[in-house]
Structures are given as structure tokens and as C-alpha cells.
Chain A
Amino acid sequence: MAEIKNKTNLSCTVNGRASDNIVSDSLLLADFLRETLGLTGTKIGCDGGECGCCTVLIDNAPQHACLTLAAKCNGKAIETIESLSEESRLSAIQRGFNEKLGAQCGFCTPGMVMAAEGLLRTNPDPNEQEIRAGLASNICRCTGYVKIIEAVQSAADELKMSGQAL
């Protein structure tokens, strides 16, 4: 038998929808999203805070879901990669990553895109240096980052042209 774990009520919003659950105190947000809610877009690529694959937004700020206890997210707004596509259309950042080949194997991509989302929400017109600084918690092993930088630049340009803000 599994031991009885300490539990907590967790009321938060996930991708804009209210979510009310009883979770164990030790449950990581990454596992809550992936295993409880089935939002497997959020990836786990390391043993804690070293790769950025699990990056999600919590109250607009990028955070590692693998180092965040789900129970600490009570009352918070959590956003994952699954929230970005509107009615199956890619968001500007997603389109940037798709068109500029910012994603090769795609495993770091959800975290990378969410970090970029967090960046563009606070700085809609970042220069190259600022893009690098904003994505520096995220490791990509395929691209050498060249096309990731282009992807974010292209998304920022698109948003600027269309007058949209994130």
C-alpha cells in the first residue's frame, strides 16, 4: 500500500480554467500538470532546475514547474504551452519557432516558448542581448540557439506589426 500522504487543497487556474484539486503536499507542479491534468506539453529534462524544459508561467512569470510545489500555487494563474494556441492556430511565438526552425527535436521547445512568452510580456521589443538574457535558464541541445533567437525576434516583430501585446 502506498503511504498516506499529506494533502492540501489546490485552487488555481490552469490555462484560464478553474482547477480545484486535492494534491499531496510534496507533489511537484510539473507532475500535477503532466500526470494529474494530462498536460504533457510541459517536459521534464533534468533532475531539477538545470534545463528549463518544464518552464511554465505562474502569474505571468516563468518558473520551473519541476522545483515548484503544486500546493504553493493556490490562488495562482498557471499557464502552460497548451494555452498558447488559439483555436488550433499557433501563437506568434509558436509560429516564430515553427517557421524559423527554433525547434528541432522539440523537447526543450515548450519551456523555451514559455520563457519567451514571459519575456515578451514584460519586454515586447527585446534586442538580441535581451533575448539571450531572457532565455538563459533554458538549454537547447539541437539548434545552437541561433534560430531560437531569430524565432523570438520574428515573433516580436509580428506582434509589433499587428499592434498586439501579449
Chain B
Amino acid sequence: MNEIKPSQSIGIRKSLVDGPEKVSGKAKYSSDFMPIGCLVGRIFRSPVAHAEIIKVDIEEAKLLPGVKAVITGDETDEPFGILPIARFEFPLARDKVRYRGEPVACVAAIDVETAQKAIDLIKFKYKELPAYFTSKDAMAEGTVDLHDHRPRNIEREVDFELGEVDKGLSDADFVIEESFNCAEVCQVQSEPHAAIAEYDAEREFITVRASTQVPYYDHLMLAKVLKMDEAQIRVVKPFVGGGFGCRTESLNVTLICALVARAANGTVRLTVSREETFITHRGRPETDIEMQIGVKKDGTITAVDYTAIQRGGAYSGYGVVTILYSGGLLFGLYDLTAVRYKGFRVLTNTPPPGAMRGHGITNVRYAFEALLDKIATKLKIDAIEIRRKNLLKGPNYETLNEMFINSYGLPECLDWVEKESQWNQRKGKMGKFRGLGVACGHYISGASKPVNWTGEPHATVHLKLDWDGSITILTGAPEIGQGSSTMTTQCAAEVLGLDMSRFQIITSDSKLTPKDNGSYSSRVTYMVGNATIDAATNLKKILIEAAARKLDANPDDVECLGEYYSAGSQDEGLTFNEVVTAALEGTGTITVKGNFDTLPESWGTKKYRGGAVSGSMAYAYAAQVVEVSVDPDTAEIKVERVWAAQDVGKALNPLSVEGQIEGSVWMGMGQAISEGTLYHNGLGITNSMLDYRVPTIIESPPIEVGIIESIDPNGPFGAKEAGETSLIAFIPALTNAVADAIGVRPTDLPVTPDKLMELMEKNTNNAKSVT
């Protein structure tokens, strides 16, 4: 007889538990639900950037045969927003419109042609107001305020100094400074926004399916704007075609869909176009950064002083959090002893940004790492060495802003990329127009304080064990393509020693699954993974006790081998099914629960207002080397190869971790070289996948992934963040590589060939005028 061993699931390359549905076309996304009699929703959008609404005349539209409802801002006077302190946005504009494309009215009709005809019949009367499309214009003296409670259009100003910055700068041997501009970027997740809402007038009950990363926040906001009891609302998240942060707050599309379905007393599908998805935005804000870094001759950083201004669009969204992350998350990567930060989140007449992958820190980190590289060149210190010089003094480190670093694999990440890229042999010897660049990044594993703080556990997972011997995982954690359902199944299977095929998983249905805050800030693996381990441990305890009863043994003597339980080598033991029967005898089907809570020491600092933002149970680390070539004639950058090392704590599923790191690196490449929005008087020019240039397979580079496992003491099996950190490191690694290739440092993103050619020519001309 072969030795019976528990099944192993953790650390093994696992394909996704929902993969077969995805590759066979069976997976149903929000826009794939089309019940008979379903109405079509269509949104009337503001043609102007800033105006007082005089009248939205919908009378004619309402009379059009086939139109079942037309609603305007009159439908609800309840504003929504992700942050309890900043809810000023209405699903449909009231009193004022503040950006071009803002929803003003919505039609539900029997078909799309009728809906469009009704839209064409809506008459929108307004009085235009001055509109501001740049942070600078919006902050100027004498502007009209977009919102009454936000003078001079400042959504939030952050100002802190930790350590003695002026002293640090005066102690420095060199102080170097630079300005950077990072264009606004969007997630461009594959699936355009969609929702389907089914209103049951008989029960006054509504069921909403939507493309969301946060079904629970949708639930709260639906109840608020519909003014319905939460119990009368069911939110279901079907398959979701990515998010990368743009679906981490309730979107107007979802709320409008529900409002119009109720008004029509029916079922409405609201699928918006790619252009409207761009208009709904919630990407990364345009950011202007001015940064000074002081260093000693040996490369030790003495102080950092910087300002970040974010063009925050017309509504708050996550804005306050974004501008706080831009300060708080400067810490925790290197040993910093003095930092001054001034941040301005500005309201403008453009669509509102949100919490894009690498939220808040990506652009600041780009500036920091680009500047550090420039310093290294100036001091003739190797770019990897200057980073080593400034590493944290090991794990068990507390930053100036009271972040606790319990695991820190950055040194190993640097070692890996140095070796694999043959940095020491090749750096500086690449020949003309070819270069290597390095940079680092880090990111949180979930925000330790959720945006809605009600004192409940951070994550709750249920496991249902039934007579058939199968286990159903019930979790609110939204699977959006990142592989959370697979991760959860792995965690449960590992604890119980069972094969993953014994499990099925039900996610994100408010009537079935326990509440979960959602898929954002890389919280799910850490928090829901831990909660799953807790639930599985509780179930295992029940099974062991049942086995003990059956075997007439002490529970402490019962060994769980997954499919087999025994108490010592003498007895025959029990099969898993026998243990299940024993466990359910008398009690029937059982559901156990597992929770996870963050530790208070991870809740951030009280040294400045908003210091809780950046607090996390663990931080993931990345180092990256990028190799580029630059075409001397066209100034096109080709990314030849990328070496990406990330400390993920523990790779629960190495296949999935690789996929996350590759996807992050590549999305960073988009922001670095080709992506960015442009507006013409507030009208988005790049609202298509032709003019907003997400990289194609042609120019996408080979990516070597190095997984570093520092085993975080509190992470599930030691795991932490895997899906954002590597995006952050790519951007500066690329511009540093470009500098190595051509001796010119781009400062503005994206580094499109026109911008680079301008820099190259300036450089040539300067060289000429010198000689």
C-alpha cells in the first residue's frame, strides 16, 4: 500500500478553478445576461464641461412608444461616493454638470433604436460656467468653485514633515531636483462597464448584477441612492472582465441601471460603450511632481522634499486616499530619515480618476527612482549599489510614519535581477542606443483600515460541508480575473489536506456569501486567504473530533491525512467520507466560519491627518531590470527584455503569481511608453482603444520572473501582495534604461517617440553648442 499523504495545493502551479468556463465561452459577464423582456438602458450625457442645469426636458422622450422610463437627476437626491467624507456625486447630475460626458438622464426602452431615439428627443438646457481642465487653472485665484464646500477647487491638501528635512538637505553633499509630469492613464480592462438590474415591484425588491470589484460597496450605495432597505437588495457579481482599480468604487452605471429599472418596473440591461467606459474613468490622475533628494557622497539619502499635484477630476472618488498614498507610501522601501511632502488634490472639469493598480504611489515612485538613478550617475555609483546603500535595516523595521515592515525581500530581489540580467557584465557596455535600467517598488497587502470602518472583521469566509462529502466555499471576495477563487480554494484544500476537486466556490452574491469589502488594495490574498485558513482550520477541528468519536480516540491522537483519518497505526482509520458522516450525524449539514482581522500596529500613523492610509499588514517588494533599445531615426523605444523579481512572501500559486507579475510589468510598460489621455476642452480625445494605446502583442517584451519568498509572519502561508508592486518598478526602470541608452533622461510620461525625439535633438544641439 502506498503511503497516504494529505494533498498539497499551496506552492503548486494550479490553473484557475474557473478557467474552463473562461476558455470555452461559458463564463457569463454582466452584459451576457439577457432575460426575455429585458429593456435596454441608454444614458444621455452632458455635452458641456461645466454648467448650471436649467432644465432637462424629457417630456417628448417619455411619450415615444416603446419607452418605459426616462429618469433625470430628480430621481434621487442621495449622493454617492466611496469615502464617507466625500460623497458629492449623484448618479445623474443635479443642479450642475461638471465634466463632459457626465450622465444627465437615462432611458429604458424596448430596444436600442427606441432608446437612442428617446435620447435624441431629450432637450438639455444649461448655462455654461467657466471650466478648468488643468490643475493649475483650477487652483488659480478667482476661479469658480466646482463644489461649494471646496474653496479654490482643492479637494485635499496634505502637508507633513517627518524628520528634519532642512537639516538633511544641508547635511547632504549633493541635492538634486527635478520636475516630472505623468499623464492620466486608464485601466482599459477588457470588459466595458455593464449592469443588469431586475426590479420586482411586487416585493419591492431589486437584484443587480454588475461589473464590479466591490459588490458590497455597491450594495451600500444602491441602498443609499434608491433609498431602499439593504435587505431588499441583492447584489450579484457575475464574471468580471478585469478592473485594475476602476471598479473599486460604485460606478454611476450600476446605480443608474438600478434607478431606471425601478422607474420602469422591470429589468434593464445597461451596457455602455468603450467610449463611455473611458468617460466613467477612475484611472490614475495626471500628476505633477517636483522632488528634491539630498545625498551623501556615498549615496546615502539624507532627505526627500517633494510636492505632488493631482488633477482630480470633477468628483472626489478615492481622491483623498490617492493624495495620501502619494505621501505615506514613499516610506517602507528605503531607509528614509527626513521627508517633507506637500500634496494637492485638485478638482477639475474632467472625468474623475480613481484607484488604479499601484494606487497613489506609482507616479511618485517613478519620480523618486528616476532621481535616484540620476544621482547614481552623478556620483558614479552603480545604480544597484546606491539602492543597496539605502535599504531598510532589515525586517522588523518601523518607518518614520509608523509602518511596520515584518518581511523584506528587496535585497534578494536586487540580487536576482543583478545576476539574471548579467548587470555587472553588461551595464555600461551595451553600445549605442541600447541600455539597462534598474528600479524598485513596493506596495501594500491590503489597507489595514477599510474605507467603511464599522468594526467587523476584515474578512469572513464560510465553508459548507454536506453529506456528499463536498465542501462549498462561500466568500464575498470578488473574483475579477486575478485568481482569488483559485487562491481561496487552495488555502482551504491545503489545510484539510484534500484535493481541490472536493471544493466548489460561490463568490459575491449578497444573499449567499458573507459580506466582503472587495478586490482592491491587494487585500484579498492576505485577508481572505487568512480567513479561509481560519475557516478550514475550524472545519478540520470538527472533523477530527468526529473521527475521534468514531475511533474512540483522543482528538489529539487523530491524524488528518486528507482523504484518511487515523488514530495511531493500529486501527484501520476512517475515510474522509466516513468522517463526514460522523461529523454530520445528529447536526446535519454544517457551515463553519473563519475570520481575519488586521493588527492595530498596522493601522498607520497618527503623526499627520490621514496617516492611516498606507498602513498594511505587509508590503511586497520588487526590483526590476529593463533592457531597451532606442531607434535613432524614429526615437521609438523597444523594450527588449525585462527581469522582474518580486518578494511575494510565499507564492501560493506560482503560475498565478507569474501571471500577475507579467501583467503588472506590462501594464507599467503601457504607462511608460504609450498610454495617456488627452482632452480637447474637456472632451476626451483618446476615448477609444485606437487612440488610447494599450500595447499589442507585437511590442510586448519577454519577461523573466523571479519569485522571492520572504515568508511574511502574518500572511496566509507567508504570502503577501503579488499583483501591483511590479507595475510600479517598471516605469522608472524603463526611463533609467533609456537614459543609459541615449544619455537623455525623459521626465514626462508616456515617453512617446515625439517627446523622446525632442529630447534627443535638444541633447544633440546642446552637445554641438558645447563643442
Spell out A's residues near B (CB within 8 Å). 1-3, 34-35, 38-47, 50-51, 53, 80-82, 84-85, 90, 94-95, 97-99, 101-110, 113, 132-133, 135-136, 138-149
Contact = CB atoms under 8 A, between A and B. Distances in A.
B157 interface: no
B274 A47 contact: yes
Contact of A45 (B16, B191, B482, B703): B191
Given A42-B25, A50-B690, A107-B242, 4 more contacts: A40-B34, A82-B25, A106-B21, A146-B666
B24 A94 contact: yes
B66 A81 contact: no
Contact of B192 (A38, A45, A98): A45
B111 interface: yes
B66 A2 contact: yes
23 contacts: A2-B110, A43-B29, A43-B191, A44-B271, A45-B689, A47-B688, A50-B690, A85-B24, A90-B23, A97-B19, A99-B15, A104-B481, A104-B663, A105-B481, A106-B239, A107-B242, A140-B697, A143-B659, A143-B662, A144-B666, A144-B700, A144-B703, A146-B702
A142 B242 contact: yes
B190 interface: yes
Given A47-B275, A144-B666, A109 B23 contact: yes
A94 B23 CA distance: 5
Q: Which 9 A-B pairs have the closest CB atoms?
A: A41-B25, A105-B481, A144-B666, A106-B22, A107-B241, A81-B25, A50-B689, A107-B190, A40-B32
Contacts of B18: 106
Contacts of A2: 66, 110-111, 113-114
B240 interface: yes
A47 to B, nearest CB: 5
B659 A1 contact: no
Nearest to A42: B25
Contacts of A41: 24-26
B26 to A, nearest CB: 7
B643 to A, nearest CB: 13
Given A45-B274, A141-B189, A148-B697, A105 B688 contact: no
Contact of B23 (A106, A136, A141): A106
B191 A105 contact: yes
A90 B23 CA distance: 8
B103 interface: no
A24 to B, nearest CB: 10
B242 A82 contact: no
Nearest to A51: B689
Interface in B655-701: 655-656, 658-659, 662-663, 665-667, 688-690, 694, 696-698, 700
Contacts of A95: 23
B188 interface: yes
B431 interface: no
Interface string B66-102: 1000000000000000000000000000000000000
Contact of A104 (B242, B275, B694, B697): B242
- Which of A99, A103, A106, A139 gathers the greatest number of chain B CB atoms within 10 Å? A106
Contact of B697 (A3, A103, A132): A132
Contact of B240 (A1, A38, A105): A105
Contacts of A90: 20, 23-24
Nearest to A84: B24
B65 interface: yes
B238 to A, nearest CB: 11
A113 B29 CA distance: 18
- Which of A35, A98, A102 gathers the greatest number of chain B CB atoms within 10 Å? A98
A108 B34 CA distance: 20
B480 interface: yes
A142 to B, nearest CB: 5
B510 interface: no
A2 B190 CA distance: 31
B441 interface: no
Given A99-B15, A101-B659, A104-B481, A145 B23 contact: no
Nearest to B25: A41
Nearest to A95: B23
- Which of A41, A94, A104, A138 gathers the greatest number of chain B CB atoms within 10 Å? A104
Q: Chain A: interface secondary structure? A: loop
Interface string B167-191: 0000000000000000000011111
Contact of A139 (B244, B663, B689): B689
Contacts of A140: 190, 697
Contacts of B662: 143-144, 146-147
Given A2-B111, A140-B190, A44 B31 contact: yes
Nearest to A24: B113
B16 A103 contact: yes
- Which of A53, A82, A139, A148 gathers the greatest number of chain B CB atoms within 10 Å? A139
Interface in B698-748: 698, 700, 702-703
Contact of B696 (A45, A97, A139, A149): A139
Contacts of B113: 2-3
B110 A141 contact: no
Contact of B482 (A85, A104, A132): A104
B437 to A, nearest CB: 18
Interface in B262-292: 271, 273-275
Given A46-B689, A47-B274, A136-B697, A103 B666 contact: no
A142 B66 CA distance: 40
A143 to B, nearest CB: 6
B644 to A, nearest CB: 10
Nearest to B191: A107
B512 interface: no
Contacts of B275: 47
- Which of B16, B187, B191, B698 gathers the greatest number of chain A CB atoms within 10 Å? B191
Given A50-B690, A107-B241, A101 B656 contact: yes
- Which of A1, A3, A40 gathers the greatest number of chain B CB atoms within 10 Å? A40
- Which of A84, A110, A133, A146 gathers the greatest number of chain B CB atoms within 10 Å? A146
A105 to B, nearest CB: 3
A31 B19 CA distance: 25
B483 A104 contact: yes
Interface in B142-197: 187-192
B66 A1 contact: yes
B502 interface: no
A98 B242 contact: no
B617 to A, nearest CB: 25
Nearest to A128: B702
Contacts of B125: none
B28 interface: yes
- Which of B21, B24, B689, B702 gathers the greatest number of chain A CB atoms within 10 Å? B24
Contacts of A139: 190, 689, 694, 696
Contacts of B239: 105-107
Nearest to A144: B666
Given A47-B688, A139-B696, A144-B700, A101 B16 contact: yes
Contact of A105 (B20, B190, B689): B190
B667 A108 contact: no
A105 B700 CA distance: 19
Contacts of B655: 101
Given A139-B694, A144-B665, A144-B667, A40 B28 contact: yes
A42 B27 CA distance: 11
